[in-house]
Amino acid sequence: MAQSVKGMRDLFGKEMRWFQRIEDTARRAFERHGYQEIRTPILEESEVFHRSVGEGSDIVNKEMYEFTDRGGREVVMRPENTAGVVRAAIQHQFFASSDPRLLYYIGPMFRYERMQAGRYRQFWQIGAETFGVATPDAEVESLVMLHDFLRELGLRQLEFSINSVGTPECRPAFHAAFRAFFESRAEAFCEDCRRRIQINPMRVLDCKNASCQAALEGHPLITDHLDEDSRAHHGRLKLLLDRLGVPYRENPRLVRGLDYYTRTAFEILSSDLGAQSALVGGGRYDGLVKQLGGPDVPGFGWSIGLDRLATVLQQVAGDAPEPEVPLLIPMGPRASERALVLARELWEAGHPVRLETRGLNLKKALATANRQGVRLALLLGEGELDRGVVAAKFLDTGAQEDWPLADLPNRLATGGRGWPQVTSTS
């Protein structure tokens, strides 16, 4: 029997409904702020990620699905999408003017990671990117949008974890101090950290190894080596978050997992499941556009994993509600023809309805409806056609009443015996 590739999975049922609900909520929340959706290819040239994510990152060193295609091109299945969005913005000349560009994306990413519970090699992300604005005010606007989006989904125990990772100009002094600290206890760190210290010392702070985190106790802080502008930037970020009542705490070890971040780095922590854990992260990347061959345009963005978010929401809020869709059951050839016409009229008016097309007798059709959790069956037989009605049978109570065919769209919209109101999309 054919199976899905290891690390890939099928989405359906309850989890699919949560994915759809998250995506719909994201589009509403982001478009309120003037963000526009962008969809980039799953395949990108490898150079896009080698130049942006960083040669010292685990993504580039261990996790990318990278191969040579039939045309001899080195390509990669995107492991994250900020670099792809920047590449698209440069290619299509989004930066021809100095106007800000606000973009968001939803789609699958790919990393060849060690398999763990809740982690997949194909995973889904939602992200938002702000280009052309260097102020902390733009960051706060994006963070408020993200905070409101998560609260709209039903999460309440949210807190930002923030740090400033400075700029390339102010990091050499920190790197020197950190390397000296590291060398004094190098044996306490893992092999990966001993490699990272040579390439990018800040990557050591991002190690998830518990013994490495313990060995970091008392390490030099990047915030002690910030230039005046970075310090002022970080101070205004905190002032604005305070003014808006957005909870946060400073975390001097927060550097994120990608090399292109400058100044602000953040995560959102949630206590909705008890123990606090990170749901989303991002930060500022003012040099990335130029690094990928574009103009010197500042950027800020973040991404959140749909797989993780859907799991959290299922545990916090339970199952996403199934849409109420009545089942139209015709009985007899004449009723079957009329049912097709009737169903199309309802669909065109924006009303959901399923049509039973197998020609089953009423008992078998109702048995199917009950197994599938249908609450309203619309019965259409010869007698109903002669009287110009449809029999509305509520399967949860057994109640039944006749609804005039001409009034059916209105009955479905306004309700009958507890049937929920359906908003027309026409």
- Using the predicted structure, report yes or no on whether residue 74 has a pLDDT greater than 90: yes
Interatomic CA distance for residues 132 and 280, integer angstroms? 23
- Using the predicted structure, report yes or no on whether residue 346 has a pLDDT greater than 50: yes
Helix segments in 207-279, DSSP class H = 210-215, 228-243
Interatomic CA distance for residues 327 and 395, integer angstroms? 11
Q: Where do the structural domains in the chain lie, given as residue ranges?
A: 13-170+226-317, 327-414
> What pLDDT is recorded for position 424?
38
Interatomic CA distance for residues 230 and 170, integer angstroms? 9
Neighbours of 355 (CB within 10 A): 17
Report which of residues 60 and 207 the model is more confident about: 207
> What pLDDT is recorded for position 426?
33
Interatomic CA distance for residues 348 and 240, integer angstroms? 48
- Using the predicted structure, report yes or no on whether residue 421 has a pLDDT greater than 70: no
Q: Report the top-level CATH class of 327-414.
A: alpha beta
Q: What is the mean pLDDT of residues 302-323?
A: 86
> What pLDDT is recorded for position 353?
94
The per-residue pLDDT for range 183-229, each reduced to its tens digit, is 998 899 998 899 888 888 888 988 888 999 999 999 999 899 999 99
Torsion sign over Cα 119, 16, 300, 139: negative
């205004």: which residue's tokens? 236
Region of residue 266 (phi > 0: left; psi between -120 and 50: alpha; otherwise: beta): beta
Report which of residues 236 and 58 the model is more confident about: 236
Q: Cβ neighbours of residue 318 under 8 Å, at least 6 residues apart?
A: none
- Using the predicted structure, report yes or no on whether residue 110 has a pLDDT greater than 90: yes
CA distances from 290 to 286, 296, 300 (A): 8, 5, 14
Asked whether 210 and 180 are in contact (CB, 8 A), the reply is: no
Interatomic CA distance for residues 330 and 317, integer angstroms? 38
Q: What is the mean pLDDT of residues 383-408?
A: 93
Q: What is the pTM of this model?
A: 0.84
Give the least confident one: 50-64, 104-118, 307-321.
50-64
Element spanning 377, H or E: strand 376-380
Q: Cβ neighbours of residue 36 under 8 Å, at least 6 residues apart?
A: 102, 103, 104
- DSSP per-residue string spanning 39-50: ---SEEEHHHHH
State residue 112 phi and psi, 5-degree precision.
Answer: -85, 75
Interatomic CA distance for residues 148 and 398, integer angstroms? 42
Interatomic CA distance for residues 297 and 325, integer angstroms? 49
- Using the predicted structure, report yes or no on whether residue 129 has a pLDDT greater than 50: yes
Q: pLDDT grade, residue 113 (50/70/90)?
A: confident
> What pLDDT is recorded for position 320?
72
| Residue 84 in tokens | 């792809």
Neighbours of 39 (CB within 10 A): 12
> What pLDDT is recorded for position 423?
42
What's the gap between Cα 44 and its chain centre?
Answer: 20
Q: pLDDT grade, residue 146 (50/70/90)?
A: very high
Neighbours of 223 (CB within 10 A): 16
Q: pLDDT grade, residue 420 (50/70/90)?
A: low
Interatomic CA distance for residues 243 and 265, integer angstroms? 20
The per-residue pLDDT for range 254-283, each reduced to its tens digit, is 887 667 889 999 999 887 766 557 889 999
- Using the predicted structure, report yes or no on whether residue 351 has a pLDDT greater than 50: yes
> What pLDDT is recorded for position 39?
97
262-270 and 101-110 beta bridge pairing: unpaired
- Using the predicted structure, report yes or no on whether residue 79 has a pLDDT greater than 90: yes
Neighbours of 205 (CB within 10 A): 23
| Average pLDDT of the residues of the chain | 89
The per-residue pLDDT for range 153-166, each reduced to its tens digit, is 999 889 999 999 99
Dihedral Cα 116, 118, 121, 123, nearest 10 deg: -160
Q: What is the mean pLDDT of residues 327-347?
A: 94
Task: For residue 121, give the nearest of 129, 109, 132, 130 by alpha carbon.
Answer: 109
Give the least confident one: 6-15, 20-29, 60-69.
60-69
- Using the predicted structure, report yes or no on whether residue 18 has a pLDDT greater than 60: yes
Fold of 13-170+226-317: BirA Bifunctional Protein; domain 2 (3.30.930)
Amino acid at 110: F
Helix segments in 264-380, DSSP class H = 288-291, 306-317, 333-348, 362-371
